Structure 1
Amino acid sequence: MGAPAKRLELTEEEASTLKLWVASGTTQQRMAVRAQVVLAAAEGLTLDEISSRTGLSVNACLKWRKRFAAERFEGLSDKSGRGRPQSISQEERLEIMALACTTPIDGSSRWSMRKLAEVAGHSVSAIHGILNAGDLKPHKVEHWCGKSPDPEFASKQATIIGLYMNPPVNAIVLCVDEKSQIQALDRTQPLLPMRPGKPKRITATYKRNGTTCLLAAFAVHEGTIEGRCVDSTKHTNFLNFLKHLYRSNPGKDLHVIADNLSSHKHKDVLAWIEKRRRLHLHFTPTYSSWLNQIEIWFNIFTRDVLKGGVWKSRQALVSQIMTYIRHYNERAHPFKWTYEGKPLTA
C-alpha cells in the first residue's frame, strides 16, 4: 500500500461541481481526471488507490491534490506564463511515458497524442517529442505468435518443418487451406481511376453480388498454386479437392499440410485418406496455422486481388481469381523458409 493521501475537506458546492465535471461529456478530459483525483482524495483514498482509479501516476495525483488544497479550483487549471515556456522536467517526462503505457479510463483502447496532451497539460507537439524520445508508439499494434497449448506441438512442428527443409524422395508437399467468404463487392458509383496526384478512388458504399470460397494448394518446393472456387467450406468440397490433387499427381507420395478446421477432420475425409497409401495428411498444431505456407500466399493474394477490387457478379470475381492464379504460376517460385523450430520468443 502507498502512503495515504491527506483527506481533503470539500464544501457541498465544491463536491457538486467536481462531480458535475466528471459526469459531463463536454468537460475536457484533463479537467475531469483532475476532478477525479480531488474527489478520491476527499474520500481518504491512498495515493496508490487514486492512481489506480484515475490512470495517472502517483506523483501526478499528489501534484493535483496539493494544488487544489492550496488554490481550490484555480489550482486545477494549467498555469500560464510569459515568454518561453518552462521546460518539462525529466520526472514529468517519465510520468507521461508511464501514462502512455496504461489504458485510458474513458473506454478507449489506447491513448492518442491529443488525449495525452489534455491529461498531462502540455501541447501535442511536446507529447509527441517525449514519446518519440522514449520510442513509444501508442498508435501501433503488432501481433506475435503465442504459445500453442497443443501437447503434440513439438512433434507436429518437427514433422512439418522436416517436410519443408528435407522432403522425402518422390514426394510432393502441398499446403492446403480455404479462404472463405470472399465477397464480390460492387460500388454504387463508377470507379475513378488513378491520375497524377490522385489515387484510385472507390465509393465507401457498396452492394454485394455474392460470395465464393477459394480452395488452394501451395506446392512448397515448386511455388505453384492449384485453386478451385466453391460455394462453401463443407467437408465434401474439401474431400473432392483432395481427390483432384491425388489424381493429378499419379505415382507421387502426397504430403498435405492443413489446419484443424472441422471439415479437414471429418470422418468421411479421414476414411478416404486411410485407404490411400500415397496420401499423408499432417495437421498444424493448435493455434499454429502460421506454420502452413499457404497463409503466406493468401496474404499475397489478398493484397494483389481483393484489396480495392470491384466486381459486377460472383462469376466475375471467380474469373479474376483463376486468371490471377494462372499468371501467378508463370512466375512462381518457392518461399525461402528459414524457421527451423527454435523458440520465437524468450
Structure 2
Amino acid sequence: MARTDRAVAVVVLTDEERETLARWARSSQALAQWCRIVLGCADGKSDQEVATELGIGPQTVGKWRRRFLDRLVDEPRLGAPRRITDERVEQVVVATLERTPSDATHWSRASIAAESGLSRSTVGRIWKAFNLKPHQVDTFKLSNDPQFVDKVRDVIGLYLDLPEKALVLCVDEKSQIQAVDRSAPVLPMMPGLPECRTHDYVRHGVTTLFAALDVPTGEVIGSVHRRHLAVEFKKFLTRIDKEVSADVDVHLVCDNYGTRKHLTVRKWLEAHPRFHMHFTPTYSSWLNQVEHGFGLLTDRRLRRAAHRSLRALENDIRDWIKTWNEDSKPFA
C-alpha cells in the first residue's frame, strides 16, 4: 500500500513576525536559511516543496518547522523573566555574520560581548543556538579544468559500474615521507598524563610510497622508492603488470602529475595496451580513493611514530600494507 503523506503543522505568522523574518532572510548563512524555511512553511508549502525550493533536505525543513512551533506554544517557565530581547539577539547574530572587529580577523566571545554589552556566556549561548563558530575556518579549492565534468563522470562511472574482465586501480604516490626520530625517548602514557614527546626531532631522510588500490576489494599493491620520478613510476607499472592476471584489462585512476605523461611512461603504455589511464580533474585528488588509504596510513602508523633510520620507516610502511591486505575493505 502506498504511504500517504502526513499532515504538516501549519505555521501562522503575524505581520510583524513576517516583516522581521523577511528582513533577516536578506542576511547571510544559517540565519537567512532558517528564515526562508519558516516563511515558506507560512505560505502553506509542504516540507518537500520548501526543501526543493531551497535546495536542502525535507528533514531539515521539518526540524525547523517543529522548532518554530514549539517556540510559539512553549508554556511559561519558572524563574526570572527573560532579559535578552530578540533585537539584541539579532544584533549579535548579524554582527557575527556580516562584520569583523577592527582589531582582528574574526569575533571572539570576549570581543563581541564587549561591543554588545552582553556577557560572554550569553554570547556563547546565542552562537550555540544559531550554530555559529567564528573561531573555525575551512578551506576549499575550485578546479579550473575545462574538462572537469567529463573527467568526473569518467572516474565515478568506473567506481559505480566496474567493467567486465577488468581491474580498476586507484594509483598515486605519497612522497616526502620523513623518517623522523625524537631527540629524546618518548615518555609512555600514564594515568592522568598523555604520552609525551619532545618538540624537536632528527630527520633521517625521506622516501616515497607508490600505491595502487583495488576499488572492489580495497587491497593495496605498494612499492617503496627513494625518488618519485618517471623511472620509478614505470617500475611500479611493471610490478602491477606482473601481479595482475594477464587476461584482464587494467584501468588506472590517477592525477595529472608530470610522471604520468612522461615519454618513458607513454612508451611503456603503448607497449602494454591493456592498461588504460583515467585522469582526475586538476585540484581534485579527493576523487582518487587511494588518498583515503594514505590518510589511514598517516593516522595509524606515521604521524606519531619514531623511526631511527629510513629503512625502519620503509619496513613499517610495508608491514602496514601487509596487515591492511589481510582484512582489506573497499571504500564507499
So what's the TM-score if we normalise by structure 2? 0.70
Find the counterpart in structure 1 of residue 252 from structure 2: 256
Shift of 1:122: 3.0
Find the counterpart in structure 2 of residue 288 from structure 1: 284
Work out which of the residue numbers 155, 178, 189 in structure 1 matches 2:184.
189
Shift of 1:210: 1.4
Find the counterpart in structure 2 of residue 266 from structure 1: 262
Structure 2 counterparts to residues 9-24 of structure 1, below 5 A: none
Measure the CA separation in 2 of the matches of 1:106 and 1:225.
Answer: 52
Task: State whether residues 212 and 222 of structure 2, in contact with CA within 8 Å, keep that contact through their aligned partners in structure 1.
Answer: yes
Which amino acid is 1:116 matched to? I
Measure the CA separation in 2 of the matches of 1:206 and 1:130.
Answer: 44
Work out which of the residue numbers 138, 161, 169 in structure 1 matches 2:156.
161
User: Residue 312 of structure 2 aligns to a residue in which SS?
Assistant: helix
Structure 2 counterparts to residues 131-280 of structure 1, below 5 A: 131-143=127-139, 147-251=142-246, 252-280=248-276
Is 1:329 aligned to residue 314 of structure 2? no
Measure the CA separation in 2 of the matches of 1:288 and 1:334.
Answer: 20
Q: Percent identity?
A: 39
Is 1:87 aligned to residue 98 of structure 2? no
Measure the CA separation in 2 of the matches of 1:208 and 1:113.
Answer: 41
User: Residue 300 of structure 2 aligns to a residue in which SS?
Assistant: helix
Task: Decide which moves more: 114-123 or 175-184.
Answer: 114-123
Which amino acid is 1:173 matched to? V
Measure the CA separation in 1 of the matches of 2:158 and 2:287.
Answer: 12
Q: Name structure 1 gaps, 5 residues minimum.
A: 1-83, 337-346
So what's the TM-score if we normalise by structure 1? 0.67
Shift of 1:260: 0.9
Find the counterpart in structure 1 of residue 124 from structure 2: 128
Task: State whether residues 113 and 123 of structure 2, in contact with CA within 8 Å, keep that contact through their aligned partners in structure 1.
Answer: yes
Which amino acid is 1:219 matched to? D
Measure the CA separation in 1 of the matches of 2:320 and 2:158.
Answer: 27
Q: Say if 1:296 and 1:114 are closer, same or farther in 2 by CA, change over 3 A.
A: same
CA deviation map 1:180-227 (0-9, x unaligned) = 111112112211112333222212222212111111111111211111
Is 1:119 aligned to residue 115 of structure 2? yes
Measure the CA separation in 1 of the matches of 2:310 and 2:105.
Answer: 37
Measure the CA separation in 1 of the matches of 2:181 and 2:149.
Answer: 45
CA deviation map 1:233-266 (0-9, x unaligned) = 2221112111111122141211111011112222
Task: State whether residues 256 and 282 of structure 2, in contact with CA within 8 Å, keep that contact through their aligned partners in structure 1.
Answer: yes
User: Residue 145 of structure 2 aligns to a residue in which SS?
Assistant: coil
Measure the CA separation in 2 of the matches of 1:94 and 1:274.
Answer: 65
Measure the CA separation in 2 of the matches of 1:190 and 1:134.
Answer: 46
Measure the CA separation in 2 of the matches of 1:151 and 1:257.
Answer: 18
Measure the CA separation in 2 of the matches of 1:120 and 1:207.
Answer: 50
Measure the CA separation in 1 of the matches of 2:262 and 2:99.
Answer: 43
Which amino acid is 1:257 matched to? V
Task: State whether residues 103 and 109 of structure 1, in contact with CA within 8 Å, keep that contact through their aligned partners in structure 2.
Answer: no
Shift of 1:149: 2.9
User: Residue 148 of structure 1 aligns to a residue in which SS?
Assistant: coil
Which amino acid is 1:273 matched to? L
Which amino acid is 1:113 matched to? R
Measure the CA separation in 2 of the matches of 1:171 and 1:311.
Answer: 39
Task: State whether residues 194 and 201 of structure 1, in contact with CA within 8 Å, keep that contact through their aligned partners in structure 2.
Answer: yes
Q: Say if 1:199 and 1:295 are closer, same or farther in 2 by CA, change over 3 A.
A: same
Task: Give the aligned length.
Answer: 252
Q: Say if 1:190 and 1:115 are closer, same or farther in 2 by CA, change over 3 A.
A: farther
User: Residue 128 of structure 1 aligns to a residue in which SS?
Assistant: helix
Shift of 1:96: 1.7
Larger radius of gyration: 1
Q: Say if 1:124 and 1:215 are closer, same or farther in 2 by CA, change over 3 A.
A: same
Q: What value does the CA root-mean-square deviation take over the aligned residues?
A: 2.3
Task: State whether residues 101 and 111 of structure 2, in contact with CA within 8 Å, keep that contact through their aligned partners in structure 1.
Answer: no
Find the counterpart in structure 1 of residue 41 from structure 2: none
Which amino acid is 1:262 matched to? G
